[in-house]
Amino acid sequence: MKLLSSSVARPALLASVAAAALLAGCVVAPVPGTVYNDPYGGPTQTVYAPVAPPAPYYEVQPALPYPGAIWINGYWNWSGGRHVWTPGRYERPRPGYHYQNPRWSQGPRGGWQLHGGGWHR
Distance CA 37, CA 40 (A): 9
Yes or no: say if 99 and 92 are a contact pair by the CB < 8 Å rule. no
10-residue averages of pLDDT along the chain (121 residues): 58 60 43 38 69 93 95 93 94 93 90 90 87
Chain-centroid distance, C-alpha 21: 32
